[in-house]
Amino acid sequence: MKKTKNILKALDYTILGELPDKITSIHNNSKEVKPGSLFFAIKGTKVDGHKYIPEAIKNGAEAIILEDKQDQLEVPQIIVEDSRSALSKVAKSFYDDPSSQLKVVGITGTNGKTSVVYILHKIFISSGIKAGKIGTLGYTIGQNDFECSLTTPGIIELQKIFKKMVNNNVKVVAMEVSSHALALGRVNDITFSGACFTNLSQDHLDFHKTMQAYANAKAKLFSMLNKDGFAICNIDSDYSEMFIKNCSAQLLTYSLAGDADYTWSEGTTFHNSIEGIVTTPKSKIKINAPLAGKFNLQNVLAAVAISDKLAITTN
């Protein structure tokens, strides 16, 4: 339960009716609404959440955050310009801004996200750090796996997961960040300590329509980083320049072709397993990984670069 005024501090809004003193929970699905909760009516790509306001009130919503003022509602209306953006800010506040208490590294790209997150989590765990991961396969806290609905969970679910991680003493999190999540603002109020771009190929054009729009959505992740954060970029990709231009954080590169901050030394093998040496800006790291294929050379290289930047080494 939270003080309503406190969780609305980051919003510009107009109130019709009297603001409730406290809110027990927040929801953007009317079916999940409980007595004393705050319901967000969001205009989605297919469904307008304003039509579910009556159901939310019936289920016990204490107040509604919405964009279009409604006639004769028996609960207060909190009118905002963008209810999706409002949900993101309120969820951050309601769950005590948990991502700022973690080191969260976001991984984006068409291919390799799941693999890089998996490899990173293995590195974190083997180093003795309490770690988490979020992605296509659900989310993990330490060694315990849980299911979630999307590659990048919804705004509320994501903040809940981060809060759960904080409560379980997680220190670092590797997270897949989808182009949908970036385009729809699901991660706008997440604090990323670092980010990684793997590659870009034609995908999801039913949603983004063009490759340019798809690339722009992905590149948004780099623009979200603070100047004290870091970005790891695969410069073998034709789209790498777009990501570099969007980055004001410290930028480090990796490449299979050489001439980057992180590269494989000559003689590296990858047909049955990966054995070789990664050259970093400051040292050389010997790698022996039970993975095969040239594509995994890129995935391992990305994970090593991130771990090196976080100063995490395996035992």
For residue range 128-141, what is the model confidence (pLDDT) as tens digits?
A: 999 999 998 899 99
Amino acid 130: pLDDT: 95
Q: Cα(253)–Cα(244) distance, rounded to whole angstroms?
A: 10
Q: Which residues pair with 165 in a beta bridge?
A: none
The tokens describing 16, both together, are 């019709």
Q: In sequence order, what are the residues at sequence separation of 6 or more whose Cβ sits closer than 8 angstroms to the Cβ of residue 253?
A: 232, 233, 234, 235, 240, 260, 261, 262
Determine contact, residues 169/130, Cβ cutoff 8 Å: yes
Amino acid 100: pLDDT: 97
Among residues 49, 73, 51, which one has the least CA distance to residue 63? 73
The tokens describing 52, both together, are 């579910």
Amino acid 186: pLDDT: 93
Amino acid 314: pLDDT: 66
For residue range 52-99, what is the model confidence (pLDDT) as tens digits?
A: 999 999 999 999 999 999 998 999 999 999 999 999 999 999 999 999
Quote the mean pLDDT of the chain.
Answer: 94
Amino acid 206: pLDDT: 63
Among residues 242, 256, 244, 247, which one has the least CA distance to residue 293? 256
Q: Cα(312)–Cα(310) distance, rounded to whole angstroms?
A: 5
pTM value is 0.94
Amino acid 82: pLDDT: 97
Q: Cα(33)–Cα(182) distance, rounded to whole angstroms?
A: 26
Amino acid 204: pLDDT: 52
- State the 10-residue block means of pLDDT for the chain, 315 residues long: 96 96 97 97 92 97 97 95 97 98 96 95 94 94 89 92 98 95 94 96 68 89 94 96 94 94 95 96 94 95 97 74
Amino acid 152: pLDDT: 84
Q: Cα(232)–Cα(281) distance, rounded to whole angstroms?
A: 13
The tokens describing 199, both together, are 């590659």
Amino acid 313: pLDDT: 72
Among residues 284, 217, 225, which one has the least CA distance to residue 251? 225
- Work out the number of other CB atoms within 10 angstroms of the CB of residue 32: 14
The tokens describing 159, both together, are 């903040």
Amino acid 45: pLDDT: 80
CA distances from 267 to 80, 220, 273 (A): 59, 36, 13
Q: In degrees rounded to 5, what are phi and psi of residue 287?
A: -120, 135
CA distances from 262 to 240, 255, 314 (A): 15, 7, 18
Q: Given its phi and psi angles, is residue 109 left (phi above 0), alpha (psi -120 to 50 degrees) or beta? A: left
Query: Both ends of the chain: CA-CA distance in Å?
Result: 42
Sign of the C-alpha dihedral computed for residues 90, 94, 95 and 97 taken in this order: positive
Amino acid 315: pLDDT: 54
The tokens describing 78, both together, are 């909190």
Q: In degrees rounded to 5, what are phi and psi of residue 44?
A: -90, 180
Element (DSSP H or E) covering residue 297: helix 294-309
Q: In sequence order, what are the residues at sequence separation of 6 or more whose Cβ sits closer than 8 angstroms to the Cβ of residue 47?
A: none
The tokens describing 195, both together, are 């980010």
